[in-house]
Structure 1
Amino acid sequence: MTFWKFFFNYHKSKTSDNKKIKKNKELCIREVNRERIYLSTCKNIDVEDLEKLCDSVGWVRRPLRKVKYALENSFLIVSIFLYKENKKQLIGFARVTSDGSFNATIWDVVVHPDFQGNGLGKLLMHAIIKELRTYDISTITLFADPEVIKFYKHIGFTIDPDGVKGMFWYPI
């Protein structure tokens, strides 16, 4: 995948482990009046809060036990929280599955409609890509609905790089 090799300033680093985001890290990315927005790599996500966020964009409800299992088995989770009046609200989320070496796939990228258009989705994606690159992962994939293809292209993703086509198998 020559595209990804040039998209990132690819170089192998003997100290790449030192650059990895620490687990359960939160970083304040925006503060206005008494509202603070944090980016988090904590894997402890409340499943109900995540489903509420997914509901806000019209996604189909999934069985909570399967969502919980998916979270537990994700390689990386990046979330965005709004802290307002001592309340914490999940407003952005994405997760990644990976072999930890060559390939990673980004799933469930969602930003609450009230916060879309403010750069939070882009921030979420850049945080994920940056973290995956610390593992020297050079092939990062995702599945995009037609209405968000332009968003992902703007970040640097390409459709069918080098003629590669995604393939699916579904039970009949």
Structure 2
Amino acid sequence: MKLIYDFTPAQLTQVHQLYAHTWWGKSRTLEDTMSCIEGSQICIGVIDQNQEVVGFARAISDFIFKAIIFDVIVCPSQRGCGLGSMIIRALQSHEKLKKVKHFELYCLPEMEKYYEQFGFSRQVGGIRLMRRVN
């Protein structure tokens, strides 16, 4: 397994196919996928021995105070093999994110224990998520 930070057009299509395996991303179009990757400052993929993308995540940051991790996805056939851990650790140690004070992410309640191993906590000083649908 190898980390990549730049994506060929074929690999962008493979990332889009990964979204199809998620409940929250399966309605995204290829254009949506390409736009969100283009608009993200850090994107990390994991490719297998066949050069296929089997894992992905992206982050948006001000590079000092906050980095928000989005779309951590691992191919269903590769889950449980440590790829998610590889991706999270690669984001946390990324050269451009070394000075960031807070890493944040959204997850379902059943994923909280998983992310706790990387230092994430629900204790965020009483802050509440607010959303406006456009």
Q: Distance in 2 between matches of 1:88 and 1:57?
A: 21
- Root mean square deviation, CA, Å: 1.8
Q: Which residue of 8, 16, 40 corresponds with 2:4?
A: 40
Q: Counterpart of 1:56 in 2: which secondary structure?
A: coil
Q: Which residue of 33, 36, 40 corresponds with 1:67?
A: 33
User: Residue 14 of structure 2 corresponds to which residue in structure 1?
Assistant: 49
What is the TM-score with the length of structure 2 in the denominator? Answer: 0.86
User: Residue 149 of structure 1 corresponds to which residue in structure 2?
Assistant: 112
Q: Distance in 2 between matches of 1:98 and 1:133?
A: 8
Alignment of 1:7-156 (within 5 A): 37-44=1-8, 46-58=11-23, 59-83=25-49, 87-131=50-94, 133-134=97-98, 136-156=99-119
With over 3 angstroms needed to count, the CA separation of the structure-2 counterparts of 1:166 and 1:160, relative to structure 1, is: farther
Q: Counterpart of 1:62 in 2: which secondary structure?
A: coil
TM-fit CA distance, 1:65:
1.8
Greater C-alpha radius of gyration: 1
TM-fit CA distance, 1:67:
1.7
Once the two structures are superposed, residues 12-32 of structure 1 have per-residue CA deviations (whole angstroms, 9 ceiling, x without a partner) of xxxxxxxxxxxxxxxxxxxxx
Q: Counterpart of 2:86 in 1: which secondary structure?
A: helix
Once the two structures are superposed, residues 100-120 of structure 1 have per-residue CA deviations (whole angstroms, 9 ceiling, x without a partner) of 322111011001111111111
Q: Which runs of 5+ in 1 are unaligned?
A: 1-36
Q: Distance in 1 between matches of 2:7 and 2:42?
A: 8
Q: Distance in 2 between matches of 1:133 and 1:63?
A: 29
Q: Counterpart of 2:117 in 1: which secondary structure?
A: helix
